[in-house]
Amino acid sequence: MKKVLVINGANLNFLGERQKHIYGNESLDDINEYIKSEGNKISICVDFYQSNCEGSIIDKIQSEYKNYDGFVINAGAFTHYSYAIYDAILSVDRKFVEVHLSNIFKREEFRKKSVISGACVGHICGFGKYSYVLALYALRQIFLEV
């Protein structure tokens, strides 16, 4: 069974509390449970990591990449300015799919730019929790191709 780590960055632990009109009512645990069960259906074992600290996300990528076949990352606001996370993704020999719950292109100007996209195999946004599930399908396709 392939293993995927879903990484969530800043403020994503606050889902269900923050800007519900944008991010919905479900908590991160609710969403993770759903992603886990969808992963099982396509034979992907999914683990989860969330941090509000940029450096902790980098440490996690560096220390755990050998334990996973691929990664899904929603870096939260780090998406828009963290060259350090961009470098961390490029530093490891694994595929990353970037996801966002909201459609970042329909929002404030600063959200329209992702500095980590160029380090990822693709980018899925705007589909709420389904963005993560679509990313699992994208990774499964990549796993099948290699």
In terms of CB distance, is 77 or 92 closer to ligand DQA? 77
Binding mask 110-129 for ligand DQA (x = CB under 6 A): -x------------------
Residue 67: half-sphere exposure toward Cβ, Cα within 13 Å: 11
Q: Does 104 bind ligand DQA (CB under 6 A)?
A: yes
Q: In 44-129, which residue ranges form alpha helices assigned H by DSSP?
A: 54-64, 83-91
Please tell me what DSSP assigns to residue 81.
T
Q: Does 77 bind ligand DQA (CB under 6 A)?
A: yes
- Joined together, the tokens standing for residue 98 give 């970037």
Q: Does 74 bind ligand DQA (CB under 6 A)?
A: yes
In terms of CB distance, is 10 or 69 closer to ligand DQA? 10
Binding ligand DQA (rule: CB under 6 A), the pick from 13, 27, 102, 117 is 102
What's the angle, vertex CA 45, arms to CA 40 and CA 48, rounded to 5?
A: 115
Rounded CA separation 23/101 (Å)? 7
| Interface residues toward ligand DQA, by CB under 6 A | 11, 74, 76-77, 79, 100-102, 104, 111
Q: Which residues are catalytic?
A: 23, 100
